[in-house]
Amino acid sequence: MGTGPEISRMMLIFFLGLVLGSELIQCSVTYDRKAIVINGRRRILISGSIHYPRSTPDMWEDLVQKAKAGGLDMVDTYVFWNGHEPNPGQYVFEGRYDLVRFIKTVQKAGLYVNLRIGPYICAEWNFGGFPVWLKFVPGISFRTDNEPFKMAMQRFTEKIVTLMKSNNLYASQGGPIVLSQIENEYGQLAKLLGPAGYNYMTWAANMAVGMGTGVPWIMCKEDDAPDPVINTCNGFYCDTFSPNRPYKPTMWTEAWTGWFSQFGGPHSRRPVQDLAFAVARFIKRGGSLVNYYMYHGGTNFGRTAGGPFVTTSYDYDAPIDEYGLVRQPKYDHLKDLHRAIKMCEQALVSADPVVTLSGNYQQVHVFSSGGSCAAFISNYDTESSASVFFNNKNYKLPPRSISILPDCRNVVFNTAKVGAQTSHVRMSPINSVKLMWETYAEDVSSLDDSLTTLTAPGLLEQINVTRDTSDYLWYKTSVNIRSSESFLRGGELPTLIVQSTGPALHVFINGRLSGSVFGTRQQKKFTFTGKVNLHAGKNTIALLSVAVGLPNVGRHFETWNTGILGPVALHGLDEGKWDLSWEKWTYQVGLQGESMNLGSPASFSSVDWLQSSLATQKQQPLTWHKAYFNTPEGDHPLGLDMRGMGKGQMWINGQSIGRYSTAIATGDCESCSYRTNYRPDKCQRGCGKSTQRWYHVPRSWLNPSQNLLVIFEELGGNPSRISLAKRMVTSVCAEVSEVHPTIRNWQNTSYTESENLRTTRAKVRLRCGHFQSISSIKFASYGTPVGTCGSFRQGVCHASTSHHILEKNCIGRQRCSVSISSNNFEQDPCPNMQKRLAVEAVCAP
Ligand code: GAL
């Protein structure tokens, strides 16, 4: 066996220079123990996940430019098999699934791509990215040593690799793709499956390498990844991770920036001080690639959310929010971190750290090589600040933080000192858009012959019947009640008990909603128990089982059941229990409105829509609502406020915005500190409110006027409360200390290692959104202000000129900066005290 560099050389093609007759500059991409090596140069790569189908093509350029401005070198995306091949052999590479266009957008911005083909991707995406038809391939078993599965996986992987090659998208061809991934977090499953797991994993690695892409392959969370495939880490922290061979670089493919949400649960917010700390920790231990999962989370449009119960929003508390606006201070604080890391790049890739311990909880990592020197000073004490003596100087660090010194002398960044501004973003109702509703109710009492119906004795598994063409499956049967039953003469009503494998169920007796039950992500199965109002003679029992996203993770999730598997029984009749499980059941896939394509303007059905005033008062379940509206002016992102509604789906001009639910979030929204390790159940927000009230309406889906909005409501809401809102920055805050040694204070945005690292005077910088300016200063205090953004107050020390100076510098401007010095404020309100400037400014269009 050869050495690491030899292996890399063996596996990868070296091409350098211009290809004759073409403008493409081919790159060699290889690796060694320190880093990915691009054209012979080791690189520290900062990357961010942006999933192309989770936004619209007209958003891509802006997202990628924001990623670049945020200091990223690379964009990372999964490839979404079920979006690309909805039916076997029938491919889609258009619209939101135009993978080539997405990669070219990244290329145009000058960034690299990590293409995570999977094709299993997890990602809170329906069925983990697998097309549902795959489940029905005879003899298939997912993600194991199974021929039908391996054949399908290889065919799709080849399809993608060929598409990339034919568009010259690999770096070896002059394109931006420098890395790609096969499988996803297979390690744990491989261990559970034993030899079959190991064989499949090895097959997958060899299959991928055999495709000759000219760039390295990775496998995340797969300790056994065979050479030359690099195993990488995913997690909230990855500083204890090492690759499985000493000649592979240490890479972190998923640094979770927050977490996903589920209907009925709160949102997870990861403090940026903690995220920056985790990244700095990883880099100082020799990590050379960090990918933020997600950098832009986006939206699970249509029925793409995994599940069950993953929300339509996949915001993820990412540095760019669901709507494409930067989230502050996360975005800017990380941008500052990236600059600081990049200033250390030469030293980081050339040297191994020399570590010295200082005190119980402090460490200094020094990377020094051929004239370049970078140091990372860490304070692991979660309670106290620390003073660390290094290079003849004392450095003071807040609790649980790392300072970065790109010249081993001057601190340009500390993970816990956030110099970046905070911004308040709000969904602001657009009063000019009035929605006039018309309504159409599904016919619950009869079966629709135009829909797929089948009759069978007994209860059938839902996905076997629907093949996931709809969320909805009706299970209908009838019962004949004898007129002699005692409950008909004032006795206790019978009880219907329905056991379901979930995830949601509505029970209709003789066409009337009798009750609804929902599972949870943790507990999918549930039982409906309810008194039912039956009459003598024939009664219909109609059970509407609802899928809310198919599972995306778990051992052999393709075999998991959905829908009503029983038993279903009536209790309390004169003869006791009547088990209906093996009665004749009639199945109807989907809703009448779906078969008539009511969500689409192209629907030519002759439906009798009722005017809103009549209909809204009734608030029936299983009701379609439609309204037209003109597009509001401006370019603010738009969201639909679904207040007043229950659960269902929405379409704009025939495009599905996704599922909605206004279920209230229960959870523990305790206070949050960055000082202890983050978990998704820490730092939760939004308890007691709807998990998701607003739903992203992409502007590119709108016409200037007469946009058709269609809602299908399962439970019976009041559409008159639905409104359109725009997402906008309403105010910005900043709080900076007099001597704030972050690189934010530097005049220069471009920098080199040799740049003068003097600590310059601190400044507060404020920036409103596009087409906005600062209209007023809500709060300003140079002195010792207290409180946080939105509730700042003057402290014991305050310069009376504060407000005036801020107004003078900032009013009417989109961005402004104000130096923090007594000279600037024409007075020193408390000599010999360290002062701060805290500001809250209002942004207006
Ligand atoms: C990871 C997985 C991702 C995503 C993430 C949670 O384990 O690789 O695809 O599901 O968890 O958001």
Burial of residue 453, with CB atoms counted within 10 A of its CB: 0-12 exposed, 13-18 middle, 19 or more buried: middle
Decide whether any atom of ligand 1 lies within 6 Å of the 185 Cβ.
yes
Q: Which residues of 247-274 are buried (b: 16+ CB within 10 A; e: fewer)?
A: bbbbbbbbbbbbbbbbbbbbbbbbbbbb
Strands 393-397 and 386-390: antiparallel
590: alpha, beta or left, given left = phi > 0 and alpha = psi -120 to 50? left
Decide whether any atom of ligand 1 lies within 6 Å of the 123 Cβ.
yes
Asked if residue 54 has pLDDT above 90, the reply is: yes
16: alpha, beta or left, given left = phi > 0 and alpha = psi -120 to 50? beta
Asked if residue 327 has pLDDT above 60, the reply is: yes
Burial of residue 147, with CB atoms counted within 10 A of its CB: 0-12 exposed, 13-18 middle, 19 or more buried: exposed
Q: If residue 726 lies in a helix (H) or strand (E), which one and from where to where?
A: strand 723-737
Rounded to an integer, the average pLDDT of 561-581 is 96
- Is residue 476 within 8 A of residue 542, CB to CB? The reply is yes
Among the listed ranges 481-490, 736-745, 826-835, which one has the minimum average pLDDT value? 736-745
How many CA atoms within 13 Å lie on the side-chain side of 105? 24
User: Which tops the pLDDT comparison, 297 or 742?
Assistant: 297
Rounded to an integer, the average pLDDT of 20-46 is 86
How remote is the CA of residue 552 from the centroid of ligand 1, in Å? Answer: 9
Please tell me the distance from the alpha carbon of residue 308 to that of residue 552, in angstroms, as a whole number. 9
Decide whether any atom of ligand 1 lies within 6 Å of the 607 Cβ.
no
The torsion of the CA quartet 282, 284, 285, 287, rounded to 10 degrees, works out to: 60
Among the listed ranges 108-112, 251-255, 433-437, which one has the minimum average pLDDT value? 433-437
Q: What is the pLDDT of residue 523?
A: 81
Instruction: Tell me the two tokens of residue 389.
Output: 């003596």
Instruction: Tell me the two tokens of residue 112.
Output: 């690299």
The torsion of the CA quartet 87, 91, 94, 100, rounded to 10 degrees, works out to: 140
Atom of ligand 1 nearest to the CA of 121: 9
pLDDT tier, 11 (very low <50, low <70, confident <90, very high otherwise): very low
pLDDT tier, 615 (very low <50, low <70, confident <90, very high otherwise): low
Ranges of H-type helices in 741-780 = none
Cβ contacts of residue 126 below 8 Å, gap of 6+? 82, 303, 304, 305, 306, 307, 468, 549, 550, 552
- Is residue 558 within 8 A of residue 130, CB to CB? The reply is yes
Decide whether any atom of ligand 1 lies within 6 Å of the 254 Cβ.
yes
Decide whether any atom of ligand 1 lies within 6 Å of the 234 Cβ.
yes
DSSP string for residues in 789-806:
TTS-B--S-B-TTHHHHH
Please tell me the distance from the alpha carbon of residue 288 to that of residue 417, in angstroms, as a whole number. 23
Q: What is the pLDDT of residue 375?
A: 98
Atom of ligand 1 nearest to the CA of 259: 12
Provide the 10 A C-beta neighbour count for residue 791. Answer: 9
Provide the 10 A C-beta neighbour count for residue 18. Answer: 11
- CA-proximal residue: ligand 1, atom 4 (nearest): 123
Atom of ligand 1 nearest to the CA of 306: 10
- CA-proximal residue: ligand 1, atom 6 (nearest): 123
Give yes or no: 755 in active site: no
Asked if residue 347 has pLDDT above 70, the reply is: yes
Decide whether any atom of ligand 1 lies within 6 Å of the 124 Cβ.
yes
pLDDT tier, 448 (very low <50, low <70, confident <90, very high otherwise): low
> How do residues 641-670 score in pLDDT, each as one tens digit?
999 999 999 999 999 999 999 999 999 998
How remote is the CA of residue 564 from the centroid of ligand 1, in Å? Answer: 29
How remote is the CA of residue 241 from the centroid of ligand 1, in Å? Answer: 17
Cβ contacts of residue 51 below 8 Å, gap of 6+? 77, 78, 80, 123, 294, 297, 298, 314
Asked if residue 5 has pLDDT above 70, the reply is: no
How remote is the CA of residue 536 from the centroid of ligand 1, in Å? Answer: 53
Rounded to an integer, the average pLDDT of 22-41 is 88
- Is residue 684 within 8 A of residue 327, CB to CB? The reply is no
Q: What is the pLDDT of residue 9?
A: 43
Rounded to an integer, the average pLDDT of 196-215 is 98
Cβ contacts of residue 742 below 8 Å, gap of 6+? 336, 412, 413, 414, 417, 419
Instruction: Tell me the two tokens of residue 686.
Output: 């939004």
Rounded to an integer, the average pLDDT of 80-100 is 98
Q: What is the pLDDT of residue 633?
A: 92
Please tell me the distance from the alpha carbon of residue 53 to that of residue 115, in angstroms, as a whole number. 14
- Is residue 714 within 8 A of residue 663, CB to CB? The reply is no
- The SS3 assignment for 244 reads coil
- CA-proximal residue: ligand 1, atom 10 (nearest): 123
How many CA atoms within 13 Å lie on the side-chain side of 454? 12
Q: Evaluate the CA torsion angle 296, 222, 303, 60 in order and state its sign.
A: positive
Choose, from 185, 583, 755, 807, the residue flagged as catalytic.
Answer: 185
CA distances from 551 to 187, 376, 525 (A): 19, 42, 13
Q: Which of 184, 220, 238, 254 to mutate to test the pocket of ligand 1 (most atoms within 8 A of CB)?
A: 254
Asked if residue 383 has pLDDT above 70, the reply is: yes
Q: If residue 808 lies in a helix (H) or strand (E), which one and from where to where?
A: helix 802-810
Phi, then psi, of 246 in degrees rounded to 5: -65, -15
Cβ contacts of residue 194 below 8 Å, gap of 6+? none
Asked if residue 524 has pLDDT above 90, the reply is: no
Q: What is the pLDDT of residue 604?
A: 66
Strand segments (E) across 409-452:
413-414, 422-429, 438-441
Cβ contacts of residue 339 below 8 Å, gap of 6+? 71, 412, 413, 743, 751
How remote is the CA of residue 821 from the centroid of ligand 1, in Å? Answer: 46
Atom of ligand 1 nearest to the CA of 316: 12
Ranges of H-type helices in 167-261 = 187-193, 195-209
Decide whether any atom of ligand 1 lies within 6 Å of the 825 Cβ.
no
How many CA atoms within 13 Å lie on the side-chain side of 655? 17
How remote is the CA of residue 437 from the centroid of ligand 1, in Å? Answer: 40
The size of the chain, in residues, is: 845
Q: What is the pLDDT of residue 87?
A: 97
Rounded to an integer, the average pLDDT of 496-508 is 95
SS3 content of the chain, % helix, strand, coil (to 5): 20, 35, 45
Peptide bond into 228 cis (omega under 30): yes
CA distances from 185 to 225, 418, 546, 749, 764 (A): 11, 33, 29, 38, 43
Cβ contacts of residue 504 below 8 Å, gap of 6+? 308, 516, 517, 518, 519, 545, 546, 547, 548, 647
Please tell me the distance from the alpha carbon of residue 378 to that of residue 402, in angstroms, as a whole number. 4
Decide whether any atom of ligand 1 lies within 6 Å of the 649 Cβ.
no
- Is residue 684 within 8 A of residue 622, CB to CB? The reply is no
Check: pTM over 0.95? Answer yes or no.
Answer: no
Burial of residue 468, with CB atoms counted within 10 A of its CB: 0-12 exposed, 13-18 middle, 19 or more buried: buried
- Name residue, tokens 């194991």: 144
How remote is the CA of residue 77 from the centroid of ligand 1, in Å? Answer: 12
> How do residues 624-640 score in pLDDT, each as one tens digit?
999 999 999 999 999 99
Give yes or no: 575 in active site: no
Asked if residue 144 has pLDDT above 80, the reply is: yes
Instruction: Tell me the two tokens of residue 316.
Output: 């993820």
How remote is the CA of residue 490 from the centroid of ligand 1, in Å? Answer: 56
- Is residue 585 within 8 A of residue 498, CB to CB? The reply is no
Instruction: Tell me the two tokens of residue 557.
Output: 């999730």
* DSSP state for residue 136 in the 8-state scheme: G
Q: Could you tell me the end-to-end alpha-carbon distance of the chain, in angstroms, rounded to an integer?
A: 65
Asked if residue 738 has pLDDT above 90, the reply is: no
Decide whether any atom of ligand 1 lies within 6 Å of the 562 Cβ.
no
Decide whether any atom of ligand 1 lies within 6 Å of the 122 Cβ.
yes
- CA-proximal residue: ligand 1, atom 5 (nearest): 123
Rounded to an integer, the average pLDDT of 24-36 is 92
Atom of ligand 1 nearest to the CA of 294: 12
Please tell me the distance from the alpha carbon of residue 231 to that of residue 244, in angstroms, as a whole number. 7
How remote is the CA of residue 553 from the centroid of ligand 1, in Å? Answer: 9
Atom of ligand 1 nearest to the CA of 122: 9
CA distances from 716 to 264, 606, 839 (A): 18, 23, 46
Choose, from 124, 222, 254, 594, the residue flagged as catalytic.
Answer: 254
Cβ contacts of residue 808 below 8 Å, gap of 6+? none
Q: What is the pLDDT of residue 453?
A: 80
> How do residues 744-782 score in pLDDT, each as one tens digit?
333 333 333 333 333 345 889 899 987 889 999 999 999
Asked if residue 421 has pLDDT above 90, the reply is: no
Decide whether any atom of ligand 1 lies within 6 Å of the 260 Cβ.
yes
The angle subtended at Cα 135 by Cα 567 and Cα 449, nearest 5°, is 60
Average pLDDT of the chain to the nearest whole number: 92
Please tell me the distance from the alpha carbon of residue 654 to that of residue 59, in angstroms, as a whole number. 19
- CA-proximal residue: ligand 1, atom 9 (nearest): 123
- The SS3 assignment for 7 reads helix
